[in-house]
Amino acid sequence: MTAPRSPKVSPVSLPRLRLGVNIDHVATVRNARGGALPDPVRAALAAIAAGADGITAHLREDRRHIRDADMTRLKAEISKPLNFEMAATDEMVAIATRIAPHAVCLVPERREERTTEGGLDVVGQHARLKPVIAELARAGARVSLFVEPTREVVAASRAAGAPVVELHTGSWCEAFVAGETEKAKHEFARIAAAADEAAKLGLECHAGHGLDYDTARIVAAIPSVVELNIGHFLIGEAIFVGLAEAIGRMRAAMDEGRARAR
């Protein structure tokens, strides 16, 4: 008599973690001198050649880095999805509708901030965001809301009609880099809980802001997160190791983190 076979356990299959590369700060360097170099579209093409799954660019009201013509060229020249980051203003909705990117990420925007400092006030701005999300969706864009990692804001995002949330990882990354262990633990727990809530509500979950190799490796282990959007660190690393190498190392860090979640 042969021994009964142990049942086959199929490995949990997680959705692939996509890497969106934000090329805003290539434009920041270009604009420091005026002129056309370095070209953010060239950076986008190089990022895709190195393994980026998509390109993100933020057209700010003050055009401090990416300009309208960059967005038009990105849409025309890149072969991977374009994620158009923008404030929910009439001007930006008109531009996004014309350019028709694959995705739009709505972010809060204040002129005086150096970078996107917090998440959208989805509860307070419900009446504004809901029709904007609907209009962008009609134009064919997959709309995400950049939000603080709380269950309440994730639920409010769904109520506003967004199919995707991008969780703001900035506070966690700051605490992690500063070695503030307790604060980092607390912030990470908020991200994990918000990601769980997104999955429960049927929302696609992204994450981004302030990520480096170490923090990307850690956040990659949250199973419901399917996309990371990373810019400043990668463009900075590119100065030292080149953009392709920086993206390769980031991809490896993400894959390592993802493997731990299985």
**Interface residues toward ligand PXP, by CB under 6 A:** 22, 24, 58, 85, 105, 107, 115-116, 146, 166, 208-211, 229-233
Active-site position among 58, 65, 168, 206: 58
Rounded CA-CA distance 185/198 in Å is 20
Q: Is the CB of 116 or the CB of 171 nearer to ligand PXP? A: 116
Q: Is the CB of 1 or the CB of 58 nearer to ligand PXP? A: 58
CB of 146 to ligand PXP, least distance (A): 4
Q: Are the C-beta atoms of residues 234 and 20 closer than 8 Å to each other?
A: no
Active-site position among 25, 65, 85, 204: 85
Q: Are the C-beta atoms of residues 136 and 97 closer than 8 Å to each other?
A: yes
Helices (H), the chain: 24-33, 40-49, 68-77, 90-99, 126-138, 151-159, 170-177, 181-200, 213-219, 232-241, 243-261
Catalytic site includes residue 85: yes
Catalytic site includes residue 58: yes
Residue 219, CA distances (Å) to 12, 103, 178, 200 in order: 18, 22, 17, 18
- Token readout for 4 is 């009964």
CB of 199 to ligand PXP, least distance (A): 19
Q: Is the CB of 58 or the CB of 258 nearer to ligand PXP? A: 58
CB of 10 to ligand PXP, least distance (A): 34
Q: Is the CB of 106 or the CB of 192 nearer to ligand PXP? A: 106
CB of 22 to ligand PXP, least distance (A): 5
Residue type (1 letter), 73: R
Active-site position among 166, 209, 227, 237: 209
Q: Is the CB of 171 or the CB of 229 nearer to ligand PXP? A: 229
CB of 2 to ligand PXP, least distance (A): 56
Pairing of strands 142-147, 103-106: parallel
Phi then psi dihedrals of residue 52, to 5 deg:
-65, 140
Q: Which residues are catalytic?
A: 58, 85, 209
